[in-house]
């Protein structure tokens, strides 16, 4: 080997020696969520990914996988437990599979306004975050899907009209199952990823979602009516597994937590305005709002109160329910 070859080999060797540690230090976190590409959630998570990558000099890469590619939320939770995913953006239903107490935030007929949601969340978010931590998941930021309405293909003007309505229920959702049972309804349990097809085929003709969620999942063209009151609030959060979190340095953890929390707060703020706009857009597209008579709405509230009491001990403790009700002014 001549001198020029030896120098080239030395330079290349030094390049690999000094580059290898950086390559080895890079970590990729796979994080799943249901919302489709281009949605507000998708845009938010891209911003989190870009910021974390920039502020850690590429040492942390977050690969957000949206559109339900990794399955419904029960599938995602299982994959996190197996180590196939390092995190997820979950609704209250998915979070409840990790820590059932989170479902107290989604009790029906609890909220009349966003201000109610904020008071309740502020009261219990720290203890619910700690509970998630005890279940080996680290809370990075609270989010929300928004106010949940009932959308149908037939007008609901009294509770009796539900009898002939094939209502969807999110499969494995204990809270929804309890309220449907209390109201004497027989819903159709399905994975959320099967709802659009089921609406198209007529397997179901009633669903519940936020206005923005309805549009994002393309259910809006398959419904014609909406009840004019907030049934509940769909909460959400961005979490990572404890194992993934512990694999990061303290500085990397700080960057990830701060970016996630800040962008999730923006997502909540902007999402509320988007939900208002989406509801108005649905009305312009022909979705008609219907009302229940006062006595039927009272029956729904009474059923919701009974369900909340019945789930004490199985989903959440009595003290947590008391705190939530007091904060909501109930």
* 206-222: pLDDT as tens digits: 999 999 999 999 999 99
pLDDT band with cut points at 50, 70 and 90 for residue 186? confident
- Please report the domains of the chain, with CATH numbers, ordered by start residue: 28-328 (3.40.190.170)
Which one, of 185, 189, 195, lies nearest residue 164 by Cα? 185
Q: Please name the residues in contact with 62: beta carbons below 8 A apart, sequence gap of 6 or more.
A: 28, 29, 31, 45, 48, 49, 52, 53, 87, 256
**DSSP assigned state of 308:** H
**Residues in the chain, total:** 330
How many Cα atoms sit within 13 Å of 239 on the Cβ side? 31
How many Cα atoms sit within 13 Å of 169 on the Cβ side? 18
Mean pLDDT of 63-90: 97
How far, in Å, CA of 102 to CA of 286, rounded? 35
pLDDT digits (tens, 9 = 90+) for 255-295: 999 999 999 999 999 999 999 999 999 999 999 999 999 99
Write the DSSP assignment of 114-179 as a string of letters: HHHHHHHHHHHHHHHHHHHHHTTEEEEEEEEEEEEEEEESS--SSGGGGGG--BEEETT-HHHHHH
Residues of the chain with pLDDT > 70, as a percent, come to 92
Mean pLDDT of the chain: 92
pTM score > 0.85 for this model?
A: yes
pLDDT value of residue 25: 57
pLDDT value of residue 163: 86
pLDDT digits (tens, 9 = 90+) for 131-161: 999 999 999 999 999 999 999 999 999 999 9
- For the cut 60, the answer to whether the pLDDT of residue 11 exceeds it is no
Q: Are 179 and 304 in contact (CB under 8 A)?
A: yes
Greatest CA separation found in the chain? 96
């Amino acid at each position: 080997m001549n001198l020029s070859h030896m120098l080239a080999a030395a330079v290349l060797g030094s390049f690999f020696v000094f580059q290898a540690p950086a390559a080895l230090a890079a970590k990729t976190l796979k994080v799943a969520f249901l919302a489709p590409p281009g949605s507000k959630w998708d845009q938010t998570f891209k911003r989190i990914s870009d910021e974390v990558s920039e502020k850690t000099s590429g040492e942390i890469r977050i690969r957000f996988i949206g559109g339900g590619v990794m399955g419904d939320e029960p599938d995602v939770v299982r994959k996190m437990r197996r180590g196939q995913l390092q995190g997820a953006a979950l609704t209250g239903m998915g979070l409840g599979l990790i820590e059932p107490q989170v479902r107290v935030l989604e009790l029906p007929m609890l909220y009349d306004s966003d201000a109610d949601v904020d008071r309740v969340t502020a009261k219990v978010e720290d203890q619910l975050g700690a509970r998630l931590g005890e279940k080996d998941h680290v809370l990075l930021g609270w989010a929300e899907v928004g106010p949940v309405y009932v959308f149908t293909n037939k007008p609901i003007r009294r509770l009796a009209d539900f009898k002939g309505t094939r209502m969807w229920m999110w499969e494995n959702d204990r809270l929804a199952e309890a309220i449907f049972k209390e109201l004497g309804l027989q819903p159709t349990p399905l994975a959320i990823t099967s709802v659009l097809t089921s609406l198209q085929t007529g397997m179901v003709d009633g669903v519940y979602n936020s206005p923005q969620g309805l549009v994002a999942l393309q259910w809006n063209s398959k419904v014609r009516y909406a009840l004019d009151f907030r049934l509940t609030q769909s909460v959400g959060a961005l979490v990572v597994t404890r194992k993934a979190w512990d694999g990061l340095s303290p500085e990397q953890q700080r960057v990830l937590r701060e970016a996630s929390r800040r962008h999730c707060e923006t997502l909540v703020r902007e999402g509320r305005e988007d939900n208002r706009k989406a509801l108005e857009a649905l009305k312009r597209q022909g979705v008609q709002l219907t009302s229940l008579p006062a006595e039927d709405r009272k029956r729904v509230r009474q059923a919701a109160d009974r369900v909340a009491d019945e789930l004490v001990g199985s989903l959440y403790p009595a003290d947590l329910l008391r705190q939530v009700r007091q904060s909501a002014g109930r």
